[in-house]
A and B are shown apart, each in its own frame.
Chain A
Amino acid sequence: MRNERTGHEMNRGAERDGFRHLVDDRVDEGVFRVDRAVYTDDAVFQAEIERIFEGGWVFLCHESQVERPGDYWSTEIGRQAVFVMRQTDGSLGCFINVCSHRGAVLTPLKQGSANVLTCRFHGWVYDRGGRCVKIKNEELGYPVSEGARERFNLQRIGALDSYKGFVFGSLRSDVPPLRDHLGAAARWIDLLADQGRDGLEVVPGCSTYVVHGNWKLQAENSVDGYHVTTLHSVFAATVAQRDARDTTAGMRRTESGRIKGKVPSGTYDLGNGHMGLWAMHTTPDVRPIYEARAWLVESLEPAEVEWILNRGRNLYLFPNVMLMDNPSTQIRFVKPVSPRLTEVTVYCIAPKGESDTARAARLRKFEDFYLTAGMATSDDAAALEAIQDGSLGPPSQWNDMTRGMDVMVAGPDRDARELGFEAAASCPDWEHEGMFHGFYRTWLERLEYGAGGAPRPSENGAAGA
């Protein structure tokens, strides 16, 4: 592990008068810019952890990662270790992953299966429902009475729910229902979840990497189409020389049309900080999902089929996950470590029961593009680290996010209405930056008004004005 680079960083003391001054939101005057201190400031980061990550809904895992009763998945909500446990009755539980005795994290592994969790320190035992069922040598140390162990039961988190297999949780209970939190973004989850007749599954194997950049750079990057024809032109060139060499055994042709040239595309502010990006595939027939075309056509509405088959999509779900369906299908989980350090874990997610050739092609495309061993994501990570480095000094204060502002529209455009989602704002080109306005407005509301995750009316008016 390398040392974090903190040397000449300026802490601009961002909370001196709240956080509002960090987002210069004057769209009526043609201005939308964000102070780069949002990437570097310790007070901002502290508030984000408390009010965003520990104060509302976050993504936890996919249900296929806790398939059978007793399967558990360990993760964090903000700083808090938690685990999701498939209950005996098939429902899901999520508990604080900390022994009630003296605080040791309970689960021995990231993912496992257990009838009971026995603390490895002094041997207290918890059942799948979090009940403390055994205290070692209890009778010698505590006044034994019926139900005395109950006060040591594991705490449940405040709220837990899933949408089409994607599991979300909140430490706080005073949050809106998950469906309200997801809002328009739920329809975008459908576009991934509806691809499998029997649902989706996370494919074995994952990769965790550390990026020396703020977590919000991950969020921005996931829906930033503007960088593709520059940063990833080398990916397109690499693929072009590959195709020319005609040695594509086992890979299937890689689609580089979107990287090289102009295709129909767009971005959406999906409300509550969620964002979406899409671009038309130039050769949809090379995509692994194409084999399911007949079934999709007969099972889903035409608009949904069209979006699934023809449009590459990245969905960012505020605050900590991206669901991507572009060269391959990915869950990208984001964990902020410090203002300047983010841990990212990526998983391939795929329709259950797809053919072996489709699965292999999906994996090869994943490895080709994503991962820090891939030939695109590694360049993204380097670019984001350069932004972090460029944000350190006071003279480089503002990030401009006005591109495409004149042509963005409030509410859903025609495409959005056809598929059926209430976008807060629609941008007709993936090179446009209007969706960032919604992201930073939600971000600011959460920092200003604190926890809970309920969107509140903003002084700035409706998103996408």
Chain B
Amino acid sequence: MSANGIDAALEREVAALISREAMLLDRRRWEEWLDLYAEDAVYWAPAWASEEETTSDPETQLNLLYLKGRGRLEDRVFRIGSRQSWASLPLDRTVHVIGNVLVERAQGNAVEATANCIVHVYGKKGAQTRGSRYDFAFRRIDGALRIARKKIVFIDDRLEGPVDIYHL
């Protein structure tokens, strides 16, 4: 264990968890995906406030998604599973590719990490490839790391097609 609490085993564990989330989304294993999140997790994709800056305060500024609590993620899964959402039928196909995983901090049960993600989407109107920067906060619950907070800076702005949890 290094002085800052980050060792190779933790780095592997974090990288595996982030990749696992991507895999579960691509393979539409929604229930297992939900299990990765803590009950009080915050899932946040800010909007762009200008060409160069995203919004930074969800309480006073607009976001693409600001979902507080795993229940808000369950809403999304419910809607996808209903087969009644026109934007989600047929479901876009996605491939997430995770990279640049860096564990930034580790203290007790709390771990923070950053990563990048390229998502290739194929849907009704064709293919597109979009990019995101992830800021994660994890919490160790009963021995396993869970996602306590995920901030997604979705760098694309002029958006085509729906943007749902499996696109990000």
Query: Could you list which residues of chain A lie within 8 angstroms of chain B, going by C-beta atoms?
Result: 1-3, 5, 109-111, 203-210, 212, 231, 233-235, 237-238, 241-242, 245, 247, 249-251, 343, 347-348, 356, 359-360, 363-364, 366-367, 371-373, 375, 378-379, 381-383, 385-386
Given A109-B51, A205-B55; A5-B125 close (CB under 8 Å): yes
Cα distance A235–B164 when bound, in Å?
Answer: 14
Give A372 to B160 CA distance when docked, in angstroms. 8
A238 engages B79 (CB within 8 Å) = yes
14 pairs, A vs B, C-beta closer than 8 Å: A2-B160, A204-B60, A204-B62, A205-B49, A205-B54, A207-B159, A234-B85, A359-B60, A363-B59, A373-B45, A379-B86, A381-B87, A382-B124, A386-B86
Given A209-B158, A356-B59, A360-B59, decide whether A367 and B87 contact each other with a Cβ distance below 8 A. no
Query: Which among B79, B124, B128 is the interface contact of A234 at CB below 8 angstroms?
Result: B79
> Is B10 an interface residue, CB under 8 A from the partner?
no
Say which one of B20-28, B68-76, B98-106, B132-140 lies at the interface with A.
Answer: B68-76
Give every chain B residue within 8 A of A208 (Cβ-Cβ): 157-159
CB-based contact B126/A205 at 8 Å: no
Beta-carbon contact of B60 and A373 below 8 Å: no
Residues of B within 8 A of A1 (CB): 128, 158, 160
Which chain B residues have a beta carbon within 8 Å of chain A's beta carbons?
A: 45-51, 54-55, 58-66, 68-72, 74-76, 78-79, 82, 84-87, 124-128, 157-164
Contact indicator B126/A2 (Cβ below 8 Å): yes
Tally inter-chain residue pairs, CB-CB below 8 A: 143
Give CA–CA (A343, B72) in the complex, Å: 28
Q: How far is the CA of A1 from the CA of B160 in the complex (A)?
A: 8
Q: How far is the CB of A210 from chain B (nearest CB, A)?
A: 5
Asked if B82 contacts A363 (CB within 8 A), the reply is no
Q: CB distance B50 to A109 under 8 Å?
A: yes
In contact, B86 and A383 (Cβ under 8 angstroms)? yes
- A460 CB to closest chain B CB (Å) equals 34
Given contacts A210-B159, A356-B59, A382-B87, contact A205 B128 (CB under 8 A): no
Contact check, B75 vs A207: say whether CB atoms are below 8 A apart: no
**Is A205 touching B159 in the complex (CB atoms < 8 A)?**
no
Q: Which residues of B contact A203 (CB under 8 A)?
A: 60-62
Does the CB pair B51–A110 fall under 8 Å? yes
Residue in B closest to A207 when the chains form the complex, CB atoms:
B47
- Let me know if B61 and A205 touch, CB within 8 A: yes
Query: Which B residues touch A109, using CB under 8 A?
Result: 50-51
Residues of A within 8 A of B63 (CB): 205, 363, 367
**Shortest Cβ distance from B76 into A: residue:** A375
Assuming the A-B contacts A250-B68, A360-B59, A363-B58, are A378 and B87 also in contact, with contact meaning beta carbons closer than 8 angstroms in the complex? yes
